[in-house]
Amino acid sequence: MSTTVGRLVRAELKLMTRDPLVLTFVFAFPIVTMLIIGGAFGTSPDPAFDGTNPSHWYVASYLTVVIAATGLVMLPVHLASYRERGVLRRFAAAGFPRWSFAIAQLIVGLLTTAVACALLLAVAAPVYGIPAVHDAWRVAVALPLGAVAFVSIGVLLGSVLPSARAAQAVGLLLFFPSFLLGAGGPPPHVMGSIVKQVAGPLPLTLLTNAVRAPWLGLGTATGSLIGVAVLAVAATAVAARRTAL
């Protein structure tokens, strides 16, 4: 069966590189917004950014934007449009087990995230510089865990939402508030208390904390990391149940 998954992953990867939604939303959008907002607050250490360089704060935050764009927008729209148009039926009739398609999406989602993150860092490096990583071990655990969590959420949303349009609407509705409150928007210190309370428990906020704090030396963010780990396990389990035949 590994060849089945292999054939699916190969085809899906080729298709990803031809999909304008993926190219704009997962690759271009985080880079462009990172360049804009990373330059908006200057490069001098700022108390609003926990005394760090605001540009570095945003560089360390934006890898999770890529992860959220993949999980909340790209995968749900992709999967829902496949189901809507009968592509999944055709795969099923041709003997591809449903789980093989879910695994292929997981692999493709993780690979897309990895490539988009690398690209984002490559663009950030000459412009703002890449901040030194204080606690590489924690960052290295948080990023893949977060990617698994969001890709699983994406597979789950894609299996629940009835059409590509519905997936796009729900996906964007989940993505933009998460993006503004939890990763790419204003730092928590300048947020009002209500907004801060809403932002705190959002999955993307937890993930961004778990990556940014150890990266910039602002703490261990163990609580956030545990939250992300629980989310990853739960979302993967539910997604696997939904997509198993």
Partner 1 sequence: MVVDGLDLDVPAGEIVGLIGANGAGKTTTVECIQGLRKPDDGRLRVLGFDPVTQAEQLRPLVGSQLQSSALPDRLRVAEALELFSTQRARDGGELLGQFGLTQRRRSVFSSLSGGERQRLFLVLALLNRPRLVILDELTQGLDPAARRTVWDAIRQLNDEGTTVLLVTHEMDEAEALCDRVAVMRAGHVIDAGAPADLVERHASTAVIRFSMPDPPAQLLDQVRRLDGVREVTRSGARITVRGHRRIVAHVCAALVRWERVPDDLAISQPGLEDALLGLLNGDRDEPAAAASVNGELIGGRR
- In the complex, the residues that contact partner 1 under the rule CB under 8 A are 7-8, 10-11, 14-15, 18-19, 82, 85-87, 89-90, 92-95, 97, 245
Q: Tell me the closest approach of the beta carbon of residue 2 to partner 1, in angstroms.
A: 13
Instruction: Give the distance between the most distant pair of CA atoms in the chain.
Output: 59
DSSP string, 146-159: HHHHHHHHHHHHHH
Q: How far is CA 238 from the centre of its chain?
A: 18
Q: Which is nearer to partner 1, 33 or 163 (CB)?
A: 163
Q: Which is nearer to partner 1, 79 or 239 (CB)?
A: 79
Q: Which is nearer to partner 1, 93 or 194 (CB)?
A: 93
Q: Which is nearer to partner 1, 98 or 134 (CB)?
A: 98
Q: Tell me the closest approach of the beta carbon of residue 222 to partner 1, in angstroms.
A: 42
Q: Which is nearer to partner 1, 9 or 213 (CB)?
A: 9
Q: Tell me the closest approach of the beta carbon of residue 99 to partner 1, in angstroms.
A: 11
Q: Tell me the closest approach of the beta carbon of residue 239 to partner 1, in angstroms.
A: 21
Counting other chains too, the contacts that 203-206 makes at CB distance below 8 Å and 24 or more residues apart are 203/149, 203/150, 203/153, 203/178, 203/227, 203/228, 203/231, 204/64, 204/68, 204/178, 204/179, 205/178, 205/181, 206/182, 206/231
Q: Which is nearer to partner 1, 49 or 96 (CB)?
A: 96
Q: How far is CA 123 from the centre of its chain?
A: 18
Q: Tell me the closest approach of the beta carbon of residue 104 to partner 1, in angstroms.
A: 11
10 Å CB burial of residue 61 (0-12, 13-18, 19+) is: buried
Residues 201 and 136 sit within 8 Å (Cβ to Cβ): no
Q: Tell me the closest approach of the beta carbon of residue 157 to partner 1, in angstroms.
A: 19
